[in-house]
Chain A
């Protein structure tokens, strides 16, 4: 299924801005509306736009199944890793302030909230793209 050149050109122009907006929402999660989930969904939607405007195989070459699985696992492991780091430092799960870094505890908390947001963003962007691509791929039935 090939779409017209108008759709492909518009998609090629829009996708970078969409991804930049998604990253903006992810990294501004601690201070403004939004966060890892919302930004991740927007970046995932940009990948879906690529798959819709070109064809599925070209999107599959950009973000292949293995890349999506790797991103998915990276996000989940980063999230769990930060939580377990707090456990190792002697606190409870996701008690950021206890992590021994050479900073004020408030700064450590801010940094860890940002990192958790980025982890959730990576996880959700792979998940959103996977949902669409797995549903849309051809099955021989």
Chain B
């Protein structure tokens, strides 16, 4: 495993942990967007450009937008505790 893959995988793990612990839901959505983009780069590294394109378009684009609309309809902060 090269140094580039190592950096990408470390980022993926960090972001996957961060998206759970961020309290602000909008920030969590943006962290999830970055996770999807890095996942797309990983798929490109694994020689699956088709999956990478789908991940970039659906995971980073449409899913993030739907999350943002849902946050705008409800509340941005978690209220309990």
Contact = CB atoms under 8 A, between A and B. Distances in A.
A52 B62 CA distance: 13
A45 interface: yes
Interface stretch (A6-14, A61-69, A109-117, A129-137): A129-137
Interface SS majority for chain B:
helix
Interface residues on A, range: 10 to 19
Contacts of B65: 45, 48, 52, 132
B53 A131 contact: no
Interface of A: 25, 33-35, 37-38, 41-42, 44-45, 48, 52, 128, 131-132, 135-136
Nearest to B58: A41
Interface residues on B, range: 10 to 19
B70 A135 contact: yes
A33 B57 contact: no
A136 B69 CA distance: 6
Given A41-B58, A41-B61, A128-B62, A33 B69 contact: no
Contacts of A131: 62, 66
Contacts of A136: 69, 72
Nearest to A35: B50
Contacts of A42: 57, 61
Given A38-B54, A136-B72, 8 more contacts: A38-B53, A41-B62, A42-B57, A48-B65, A132-B62, A132-B65, A135-B70, A135-B73
Contacts of A38: 50, 53-54, 57
